[in-house]
Amino acid sequence: MTTSQSCSSITTIEQPYGNVTTRCIPGWHRRPLPDIAIPFNSDKGKHLFREALLTDGLHGYFSLAETFHTQAEPSYCGPGTLSMVLNSLNIDPGHIWKGNWRFFDENTLRTCDKRKSKDNPLENILEQGITFEEFLYLTECNGASIIPYLASNTTLEQFRSAILVACTRRLDDIRLVCCYNRSTLQQTGTGHFSPIAGYHLQEDLVLILDVARFKYPCKPSKSNNNSKKESSTTVPYGPRPWPIFGNLLQLGYRPYETLYRWSKMSKYGNIFRLQLGSQMVVVLNSPSIIREALHDHGEVFGGRPYLHMIHETLHGKGVISAPYGREFHEHKNFLIKSFNRFGRRRRSSLENGCLDQVRFVAEKIREKQSSPFRIGNMLSQIACNNICTLTFGRYFETMNMNNLFEKINENFNQTATIACFNFLPFTRKFRKNIFNNVHDCNRVIKKLVGERETNFDNEFITNIVDAYLDEMNQHRQRSTYFSKENLDSLVQDLFVAGTETISNTLHWAIFYIVAHPHVQKY
């Protein structure tokens, strides 16, 4: 660091093409990182980055790195951070930056807040800086939705949960911005905005992309810097993990029995963590502890883990893979309303369809009862027709859906292989046919949804796709979570969750009835 007091000399530097004389101008040239921060370009920083990359902790990094931006003014940390985030989300500002290009920087941000001039929303920020409330206004006015978390009513666990959603899940439309006091990181200055781009779960470190690069470089920092050492290491380890596989091979053929046996060991107890390949999981083995976590702290643990195959299918949209929050709740409420509208009403079209399918299968069974036969395909047809009727209003025979359901069933039959994708990322390279099936299914679903959209009639709504399109049209003028991408994923939710699962349940039910004929008397 060079200060104005020690910067008053004239220095002559010998160069091959002549001497260069420089005069040191009073001011500061960057700041040294405090001891609690790890330099990003150090050997340890590179090692942590490599580990976080291998454990899927840097999904938010690359989009932000593509648009990494240094704030234009010393007080522009908020606008500089916001412009970088908006560009990383690929949001079109709708007006010219320079030349013919539309791009966000601090001076192209617009505001819809009446307390500020529309043409120059930053006129007071240049002198006074930006408040948290003003940052929220600017975010929403420039085309992004925002979920604010205040430190006063947010626990450390909730903060970590938000970090995990933004950094460890392959969601292309979520970024995490942190407004913090630099003094908590032993840095000079006070309030500051910067995005968090990565998370190292084992070390409980976040990667801050500091937009004040003239002052501090980006650096990994502890997610909790309070004097109390409260971090994820408070959860005790289970058995010692092996390289690459972690504890996977130690679980045996009946993992639930192994986990229960470990919980009875005094050195582990009812709460311990395991390393399953690249993923760390926490095991809860007591009804009271499970209730405390999932009921008493439901908001904290309401999210879903990142499952690679689910994300490849649904892309973090819909319901199954959507992050816990407003978007998830809006789509869950829409589905509940739609089920009541099209499925649960007495003598609904769905119920009539189910009864027709039961009669059809019963007749087929009577025809084949004199010789052995497989009932699986018949039951799959019941499930498929139910989902198709609920979603598109037609049976699948009229839509040539056989190929779609064959691919869904083929992937369900390889569930064990798909599970490896979550814990051993290198296995994803060896089963390309599974991903090809997913992409084929995506194309079929999008084509069917596109056909419904082309023939949409808001006076004749008979299925979930029509109802969703109607919701989109009603809310087209204001920002909502109803979009074409979410509709495609929602339809796939229904097919993935409602076909093979239903047919398997019916298959097992009939198997048990056949194995225990006395039950048929009732």
In the chain, domain spans = 1-30, 43-232, 235-301, 326-521
pLDDT given at position 199: 86
User: What is the C-alpha to C-alpha distance for residues 412 and 502, in angstroms, rounded to an integer?
Assistant: 13
User: What is the C-alpha to C-alpha distance for residues 56 and 424, in angstroms, rounded to an integer?
Assistant: 11
Structure tokens at 430: 């060896």
At residue 227 the predicted structure's pLDDT band, cuts being 50, 70 and 90, is very low
Radius of gyration of the chain (CA): 28
Q: Which of 162-171, 185-194, 286-295, 491-500 has the lowest mean pLDDT?
A: 162-171
Paired strand residues for 177: 195
User: What is the C-alpha to C-alpha distance for residues 420 and 423, in angstroms, rounded to an integer?
Assistant: 5
Nearest Cα neighbor of 201 from 290, 275, 303, 285 is 275
Burial-class residue 48 by CB neighbours within 10 Å (0-12, 13-18, 19+): buried
User: What is the C-alpha to C-alpha distance for residues 303 and 305, in angstroms, rounded to an integer?
Assistant: 7
pLDDT given at position 257: 92
Cα separations in angstroms, 346 against 231, 358, 382: 52, 17, 19
pLDDT given at position 441: 81
User: What is the C-alpha to C-alpha distance for residues 265 and 249, in angstroms, rounded to an integer?
Assistant: 19
DSSP secondary structure, 472-518, as one string: HHHTTTS--S--HHHHHHHHHHHHHHHSHHHHHHHHHHHHHHHH-GG
pLDDT given at position 27: 66
What are the backbone dihedrals phi and psi of residue 157, each rounded to the nearest 5 degrees, phi first? -65, -40
Q: What share of the chain is helix, strand, coil (3-state, %, to 5)?
A: 50, 10, 40
Q: Is the pLDDT of residue 230 over 50?
A: no
User: What is the C-alpha to C-alpha distance for residues 444 and 162, in angstroms, rounded to an integer?
Assistant: 34
CA angle centred on 435, ends 431 and 438, rounded to 5°: 145
Report, as an integer, the average pLDDT of 456-485: 79
When comparing pLDDT for 349 and 470, which is higher?
470
Structure tokens at 179: 């407004």
Is 403:444 a contact under the CB 8 Å cutoff?
Answer: yes
The position carrying tokens 């790195």 is 65
Mind listing the pLDDT tens digit for each residue in 106-136? Answer: 888 887 754 455 555 556 676 677 888 788 8
Looking at residue 370, the DSSP 8-state letter turns out to be: T
Report, as an integer, the average pLDDT of 502-520: 84
What is the CATH architecture assignment of 43-232? Answer: Alpha-Beta Complex (3.90)
Distant-in-sequence, close-in-space partners of 318: CB < 8 Å, separation ≥ 6: 331, 486, 489, 490, 492, 493
Q: Is the pLDDT of residue 314 over 80?
A: no
At residue 2 the predicted structure's pLDDT band, cuts being 50, 70 and 90, is very low
Q: Which of 138-142, 155-159, 333-337 has the lowest mean pLDDT?
A: 155-159
Q: Which of 96-100, 110-114, 153-157 has the lowest mean pLDDT?
A: 110-114
Q: What is the pTM of this model?
A: 0.56
Beta strands in 212-278 (DSSP E): 219-222, 271-276
Paired strand residues for 272: 283
Looking at residue 205, the DSSP 8-state letter turns out to be: E
User: What is the C-alpha to C-alpha distance for residues 174 and 177, in angstroms, rounded to an integer?
Assistant: 10
User: What is the C-alpha to C-alpha distance for residues 298 and 36, in angstroms, rounded to an integer?
Assistant: 33
Which residues in 299-331 are b (16+ Cβ under 10 Å) and which e? ebbebbebbbbbbbbbbbbbbbbbbbbebbebb
When comparing pLDDT for 199 and 303, which is higher?
199
Structure tokens at 208: 């801050």
pLDDT given at position 476: 64
Nearest Cα neighbor of 331 from 506, 503, 464 is 464
Classified by CATH at the fold level, domain 326-521 comes out as: Cytochrome p450 (1.10.630)
At residue 71 the predicted structure's pLDDT band, cuts being 50, 70 and 90, is confident
User: What is the C-alpha to C-alpha distance for residues 194 and 227, in angstroms, rounded to an integer?
Assistant: 23
Report, as an integer, the average pLDDT of 320-345: 77
Q: Is the pLDDT of residue 377 over 80?
A: no
